[in-house]
Amino acid sequence: MLDAVAATVMPGITCPTCTGDLRLVGFFLSYRDEDQKRVCRTPLWCAACDQVWDKWADRDNAPLAPHDVPLPESWKQRLLGPQP
Ligand SMILES: [Zn+2]
């Protein structure tokens, strides 16, 4: 059986709602209307307030936008890793 591995907590960036730690959910390629480019988004999950935020992978300083799809429970547990 594989051990769950806690996801990376993003350094230097916190949840806009509650200032909790944000964990990297993954990467997905999406189309950006604004400049008509295909760009990776990196959804970030805040365990404290259970909100997912979207970040553009190529825009480090852009504000986070709320992600419209809730995270499945099984993903949350994997992101948190083994609990004491
Ligand atoms: Zn939060």
- What whole-number distance in Å separates Cα of residue 9 and Cα of residue 25? 10
In a domain, 3, yes or no: no
Centre of ligand 1 to C-alpha 58, Å, is: 23
pLDDT for position 18? 97
Answer yes or no: is 30 within a domain.
yes
Confidence (pLDDT) at 2: 45
The pTM assigned to this predicted structure is 0.81
CA of 36 to the centre of ligand 1 (A): 30
How many other C-beta atoms lie within 10 A of the C-beta of residue 46? 20
Residue 38, in any domain of the structure: yes
Look up the domain containing 59 and give its range: 9-80
Number of domains within the chain: 1
Predicted pLDDT of residue 61: 84
CA 30 – ligand 1 centroid, Å: 24
2 within a domain of the structure (yes/no): no
Q: What is the mean pLDDT of each run of 10 residues along the chain (84 residues)?
A: 62 93 91 94 94 92 87 91 77
Cα–Cα distance measured from residue 19 to residue 49, given in angstroms and rounded to the nearest whole number: 9
Tell me, in angstroms, the distance from the centre of ligand 1 to residue 15's CA: 5
The pLDDT assigned to 12 comes to 87
Cβ-based neighbours of 39, under 8 Å, separated by 6 or more: 29, 30, 31, 32, 56, 57, 58
